[in-house]
Amino acid sequence: MKKVAVIMGSDSDLPVVTGAIKQLKALDIPYEVRVISAHRTPHEAEQFASKARENGFGAIIAAAGKAAHLAGVIAAYTTLPVIGLPIKSSTMEGLDSLLSIVQMPSGVPVATVAIGGAQNAALLAAQILGVENDTIAEKLSKFKKDMAEKIKAKDKDLQNEIDSI
Protein backbone atom coordinates (compact mmCIF):
# COMPACT_ATOMS: atom_id res chain seq x y z
CA MET A 1 0.00 0.00 0.00
CA LYS A 2 1.26 3.48 -0.85
CA LYS A 3 2.10 5.81 2.04
CA VAL A 4 1.14 9.42 2.60
CA ALA A 5 3.85 11.90 3.47
CA VAL A 6 2.80 14.55 5.97
CA ILE A 7 5.40 17.27 6.01
CA MET A 8 5.35 20.55 7.84
CA GLY A 9 7.52 23.61 7.65
CA SER A 10 7.92 23.83 11.41
CA ASP A 11 7.24 21.64 14.41
CA SER A 12 4.89 24.38 15.63
CA ASP A 13 2.49 23.16 12.90
CA LEU A 14 2.03 19.80 14.64
CA PRO A 15 -1.15 20.73 16.58
CA VAL A 16 -2.93 21.33 13.26
CA VAL A 17 -1.25 18.45 11.41
CA THR A 18 -2.41 16.06 14.14
CA GLY A 19 -5.88 16.11 12.54
CA ALA A 20 -4.43 14.60 9.35
CA ILE A 21 -2.43 12.01 11.27
CA LYS A 22 -5.49 10.89 13.23
CA GLN A 23 -7.57 10.58 10.06
CA LEU A 24 -4.89 8.56 8.26
CA LYS A 25 -4.62 6.27 11.29
CA ALA A 26 -8.39 5.81 11.38
CA LEU A 27 -8.29 4.69 7.74
CA ASP A 28 -5.25 2.42 8.34
CA ILE A 29 -3.20 4.31 5.76
CA PRO A 30 0.56 4.22 6.36
CA TYR A 31 2.20 7.61 6.67
CA GLU A 32 5.41 9.35 7.59
CA VAL A 33 5.62 12.75 9.29
CA ARG A 34 8.57 15.08 8.76
CA VAL A 35 9.66 18.66 9.41
CA ILE A 36 11.16 20.05 6.21
CA SER A 37 11.44 23.76 5.55
CA ALA A 38 11.23 25.21 2.06
CA HIS A 39 13.43 28.09 3.16
CA ARG A 40 15.69 26.70 5.88
CA THR A 41 16.31 23.21 4.44
CA PRO A 42 15.65 23.58 0.69
CA HIS A 43 18.09 20.82 -0.25
CA GLU A 44 16.24 18.35 2.01
CA ALA A 45 12.91 19.47 0.49
CA GLU A 46 14.25 18.78 -3.00
CA GLN A 47 15.70 15.41 -2.00
CA PHE A 48 12.54 14.29 -0.21
CA ALA A 49 10.24 15.29 -3.06
CA SER A 50 12.38 13.93 -5.86
CA LYS A 51 12.63 10.51 -4.17
CA ALA A 52 9.09 10.35 -2.73
CA ARG A 53 7.67 8.05 -5.42
CA GLU A 54 10.54 5.56 -5.21
CA ASN A 55 10.23 5.66 -1.40
CA GLY A 56 6.66 4.34 -1.61
CA PHE A 57 4.57 7.49 -1.27
CA GLY A 58 1.37 8.03 -3.24
CA ALA A 59 0.48 11.54 -2.05
CA ILE A 60 2.08 14.33 -0.06
CA ILE A 61 0.42 16.68 2.41
CA ALA A 62 2.50 19.82 2.90
CA ALA A 63 1.52 22.07 5.81
CA ALA A 64 2.97 25.53 6.21
CA GLY A 65 2.13 28.96 7.52
CA LYS A 66 3.05 32.53 6.64
CA ALA A 67 4.86 32.52 3.24
CA ALA A 68 3.86 28.83 2.92
CA HIS A 69 6.09 27.89 0.00
CA LEU A 70 6.57 24.29 1.13
CA ALA A 71 3.80 22.74 -0.98
CA GLY A 72 4.97 24.57 -4.11
CA VAL A 73 8.59 23.63 -3.63
CA ILE A 74 7.65 19.98 -3.06
CA ALA A 75 5.37 20.03 -6.13
CA ALA A 76 8.22 21.40 -8.24
CA TYR A 77 10.29 18.27 -7.58
CA THR A 78 7.70 15.47 -7.80
CA THR A 79 4.96 14.17 -10.06
CA LEU A 80 2.98 12.91 -7.06
CA PRO A 81 -0.15 14.79 -5.99
CA VAL A 82 0.66 17.46 -3.42
CA ILE A 83 -2.00 18.74 -1.05
CA GLY A 84 -1.32 22.11 0.52
CA LEU A 85 -2.51 22.62 4.09
CA PRO A 86 -2.45 26.31 5.01
CA ILE A 87 -1.67 26.98 8.67
CA LYS A 88 -3.14 29.95 10.49
CA SER A 89 -0.33 32.33 11.33
CA SER A 90 -0.27 35.31 13.63
CA THR A 91 -0.23 37.91 10.88
CA MET A 92 -3.24 37.40 8.62
CA GLU A 93 -5.22 34.58 10.27
CA GLY A 94 -3.89 32.15 7.66
CA LEU A 95 -5.02 34.07 4.59
CA ASP A 96 -1.36 34.69 3.69
CA SER A 97 -0.71 30.95 3.84
CA LEU A 98 -3.80 30.10 1.81
CA LEU A 99 -2.92 32.55 -0.94
CA SER A 100 0.71 31.40 -1.04
CA ILE A 101 -0.37 27.81 -1.54
CA VAL A 102 -3.30 28.24 -3.90
CA GLN A 103 -1.65 30.74 -6.29
CA MET A 104 0.67 28.31 -8.04
CA PRO A 105 2.02 28.96 -11.54
CA SER A 106 0.94 26.90 -14.53
CA GLY A 107 2.58 23.51 -14.60
CA VAL A 108 3.05 23.19 -10.82
CA PRO A 109 -0.37 22.22 -9.41
CA VAL A 110 -1.04 21.97 -5.70
CA ALA A 111 -4.44 20.91 -4.40
CA THR A 112 -5.36 23.11 -1.45
CA VAL A 113 -7.68 22.58 1.50
CA ALA A 114 -9.07 25.14 3.93
CA ILE A 115 -6.93 26.95 6.47
CA GLY A 116 -6.35 24.38 9.20
CA GLY A 117 -8.22 21.71 7.19
CA ALA A 118 -5.98 18.82 8.20
CA GLN A 119 -8.71 16.17 8.25
CA ASN A 120 -9.78 17.11 4.72
CA ALA A 121 -6.15 16.97 3.57
CA ALA A 122 -5.96 13.40 4.85
CA LEU A 123 -9.30 12.49 3.30
CA LEU A 124 -8.23 13.93 -0.05
CA ALA A 125 -4.98 11.94 0.12
CA ALA A 126 -7.04 8.84 0.92
CA GLN A 127 -9.35 9.50 -2.04
CA ILE A 128 -6.32 9.81 -4.31
CA LEU A 129 -4.91 6.50 -3.06
CA GLY A 130 -8.40 4.98 -3.18
CA VAL A 131 -8.53 5.35 -6.95
CA GLU A 132 -6.30 2.27 -7.18
CA ASN A 133 -6.84 0.70 -3.76
CA ASP A 134 -10.25 -0.86 -3.16
CA THR A 135 -9.63 -1.32 0.56
CA ILE A 136 -9.12 2.42 1.05
CA ALA A 137 -12.11 3.19 -1.20
CA GLU A 138 -14.32 0.92 0.92
CA LYS A 139 -13.12 2.57 4.14
CA LEU A 140 -13.87 5.98 2.69
CA SER A 141 -17.34 4.82 1.70
CA LYS A 142 -17.96 3.59 5.25
CA PHE A 143 -16.62 6.88 6.64
CA LYS A 144 -19.13 8.82 4.54
CA LYS A 145 -22.03 6.55 5.50
CA ASP A 146 -21.12 6.86 9.20
CA MET A 147 -20.90 10.64 8.85
CA ALA A 148 -24.36 10.75 7.24
CA GLU A 149 -25.83 8.58 10.02
CA LYS A 150 -24.43 10.94 12.68
CA ILE A 151 -26.07 13.91 10.96
CA LYS A 152 -29.38 12.06 10.68
CA ALA A 153 -29.23 11.25 14.41
CA LYS A 154 -28.51 14.89 15.23
CA ASP A 155 -31.44 15.97 13.08
CA LYS A 156 -33.73 13.49 14.88
CA ASP A 157 -32.54 14.82 18.27
CA LEU A 158 -33.15 18.37 17.08
CA GLN A 159 -36.68 17.52 15.92
CA ASN A 160 -37.44 15.99 19.33
CA GLU A 161 -36.07 19.08 21.08
CA ILE A 162 -38.11 21.41 18.90
CA ASP A 163 -41.26 19.38 19.53
CA SER A 164 -40.77 19.87 23.27
CA ILE A 165 -40.52 23.68 23.02
CA neighbor of 4 nearest in space, from 45, 55, 39, 38: 55
Q: What does the domain layout of the chain look like in residue ranges?
A: 3-139
Model pTM above 0.85: yes
Q: In angstroms, how far apart are the furthest CA atoms of the chain? A: 63
Residues 6 or more apart whose CB falls under 8 angstroms from that of 83 comprise: 59, 60, 61, 62, 71, 110, 111, 112, 113, 121, 124, 125
pLDDT at 67 (0 to 100):
85
Mean pLDDT by 10 residues, the chain (165 residues): 97 97 98 97 98 98 94 98 93 91 96 98 98 98 98 96 91
pLDDT at 45 (0 to 100):
98
pLDDT at 84 (0 to 100):
98
Q: Which CATH number fits domain 3-139: 3.40.630.30, 3.40.50.1980, 3.50.50.60, 3.40.50.1970?
A: 3.40.50.1970
CA neighbor of 37 nearest in space, from 4, 64, 12: 64
What is the rounded distance in angstroms from the CA atom of residue 4 to the CA atom of residue 20? 10
What is the rounded distance in angstroms from the CA atom of residue 81 to the CA atom of residue 21? 18
